[in-house]
Structure 1
Amino acid sequence: MANQSDVLIAARAEALRSLLTAGPARLKIYTGAAPATPQTAATGTLLADLVMSATVAAPVAGVLTVSATADATVAASGTAGWARLSTSAGAALLDMSVGIAGSGHEVILSAVALYAGGFVRLTSLTLT
């Protein structure tokens, strides 16, 4: 990727913040591998659909921090593999890999095995 100025990084972070706070954004967790791009239809089984808090702190040095979500009920049992962040209107923004701490994934869960009827919560989300 090309080197970016601080001005561009800040502008991109603020644009993403605007999309996330226009209505409650969503983080959907799926089984399997992410599709090629966020414009591609979701693949795998939808395990959980977390409604994000509309509280997103102002970006600091291009970094956004999203507040915790309420618990979401796990809709189906399976192994979490990827997650999609989307606007309240359903426009996909980012696809991210899911794993446990130390695994090098973008979304970290305490366990990737999720069970129908259980609960999952996002304690924080940092986007750089």
Structure 2
Amino acid sequence: MKLTTAIRTAVAQEIVDAMAAGTANPTPVMEIYTGAEPAQMGQTISDTLLGTLDLSAGAADNLNGVIDFHTISDEPSAPASGNAGWCRVLNRDGNEAVYFSISEDGSADIQFNTTSIIQGAPISISSLQVVVGGA
């Protein structure tokens, strides 16, 4: 799918707002899972949770349809081993805001330098941008 910059910007802002919504917790979180991104949100997740990373309270900025994440805190010790396939962001009230697919070859929403997560090892994301709807 390709979108105009105006539409990409509007959609990206909706995602940024959804991630930052809520007041129950100080920050939204990103949960990283094995497997493929589920077809629908809100279903029971059977994939293995590989890590949970805290986002900043505002989560991200919208730069003309590019979601530019603020600081992402490390997962100091991954609870399980596996290959990361997708992640979800839960807003500050713990509600699902968005799912992103993960790859290490550029074929997904988010590219990691490696999708291999090892139990007990840290998970670190130094910077993250997601282009909404292609360029």
TM range (shorter): 0.7 to 0.9
CA contact (8 A) 2:28 2:59 kept: no
Q: Which residue of 2 aligns with 1:78?
A: 82
Q: Which residue of 2 aligns with 1:119?
A: 122
* Mapped pair 1:15 → 2:14: yes
How many percent of aligned residue pairs carry the same amino acid?
26
Is there any run of 5+ residues in structure 1 with no aligned partner, and where? none
* Mapped pair 1:110 → 2:109: no
Is there any run of 5+ residues in structure 2 with no aligned partner, and where? none
CA contact (8 A) 1:84 1:95 kept: yes
CA contact (8 A) 2:12 2:67 kept: yes
CA contact (8 A) 1:32 1:43 kept: no
Give the direction of change, closer, same or farther, for the CA distance of 1:9–1:98 in structure 2 (3 Å limit): closer
TM-score (norm. length: structure 1): 0.79
- Which of 90, 96, 106 lines up with 1:92 in the alignment? 96
Give the direction of change, closer, same or farther, for the CA distance of 1:55–1:92 in structure 2 (3 Å limit): closer
CA contact (8 A) 2:32 2:84 kept: yes
Give the direction of change, closer, same or farther, for the CA distance of 1:124–1:55 in structure 2 (3 Å limit): farther
RMSD: 2.4
Q: Cα deviations across residues 72-102 of structure 1 (Å, max 9, x unaligned)?
A: 02111111121112212222122222111x3
Answer 1 or 2: higher relative contact order, Cα 8 Å, separation at least 6. 2
Task: Please report how far the alpha carbon of residue 5 of structure 1 lies from its aligned counterpart in structure 2 after TM superposition.
Answer: 7.8
